[in-house]
Amino acid sequence: MKVLITRSIPKHYVEQLESVAEVEVYPETIKPMPREALLESSKDKSIVISMLSDTIDKEFIDNNPDLKAVINLAVGYDNIDIDYARSKDITVCNTPDVLTETTAELAFTLMFVTARRIIEANELVKEGNWVGWSPYLLAGLDVYKKTVGIFGMGNIGTALAKRCIGLNMHVQYHNRSESEAAKALGANYVSFNELLETSDFIICTAPLTNETKNIFNKDAFKKMKSSVIFINIGRGGHVVENDLLEAIQNEEIYAAGIDVLNNEPVGKEHPFLSEKRITVLPHIGSATVDTRNAMIELCIKNAELIIEGKKPVSEVKNN
């Protein structure tokens, strides 16, 4: 079988796959594979190991008559038209579980960084503007003993809840259904409106679906406390960005920490970047060496199993 990997990965992983398949690797580490190159290179491939920046849509699938599997180097798969892929008997895999703890750590970190105004403090010193001490110099908000509302109580949300409970935070959550794991931790299931109205921190960890797209909009932000900190590590599509910007500028909410945006990457002209109360990260939720290695290893394992005619270990079951 022929395999396309749409981003450069460590050589030893490529060599491992080359022992069972013919492998083509796009040589760039950071820049996404251009659309035309993606369509051209994938034409004769049976397996594509894709990134979130690759749009695997009807055009892509129809362009690849030999395609048997798409293996996404991510836990999310909203870049893939999964229903159309299934209609063509194409297997779709992702990388769940291996990134759970690392991504929860990033949400936890972003909560602290935003609440304690760490980025502003670092810039103050680097720019030579630290001229003395004052009682309220860059005073932020406490985290411990506050109420955190987690939107999306899957594996990542549950791992995040454990960390928050360790800070004596009151944990409440909203999900499609109640979570037994969350219940065992002592987290309270609440309606979406109650989550918005009563949380001191609101953290979105949910996957993007038709139901959750643009769910954090003008109406949602108006229901939040003026002291709330909003964190999004889920997907950019959950948030109407202009509505979040207005909520910050109108002081309807206190601050935001964002790891995911609607159109990534963004340039320095993006309006979020001129707001001191919005911390923006370049989609690094699972970005540790250990976790990225584990994600790649899972992709390679799935590809090997498919080549052998066996069932992959992390096929996406439900959409």
Question: What is the number of other CB atoms lying within 10 angstroms of the CB of residue 82?
Answer: 18
Q: How far apart are CA 101 and CA 156, in angstroms?
A: 7
What DSSP character marks residue 272? G
Residues with Cβ within 8 Å of residue 298, at least 6 apart in sequence: 95, 98, 313, 314
283 in active site? yes
Please identify which of the residues 163, 235, 238, 292 carries the catalytic annotation: 235
Q: Which of 163, 238, 283, 292 is catalytic?
A: 283
**Helix ranges restricted to H, the chain:** 11-18, 35-41, 58-62, 82-87, 100-115, 118-126, 155-165, 180-185, 192-198, 218-223, 241-249, 289-307
Contact 207, 154 (CB under 8 A): yes
Backbone conformation region of residue 186, classed left if phi is above 0, alpha if psi is from -120 to 50, else beta: left
Task: Report whether the peptide linkage leading into residue 10 is cis, meaning its omega lies within 30 degrees of zero.
Answer: no
3-state secondary structure of 4: strand
Q: Is 235 a catalytic residue?
A: yes
* Active site residue ranges: 235, 264, 283
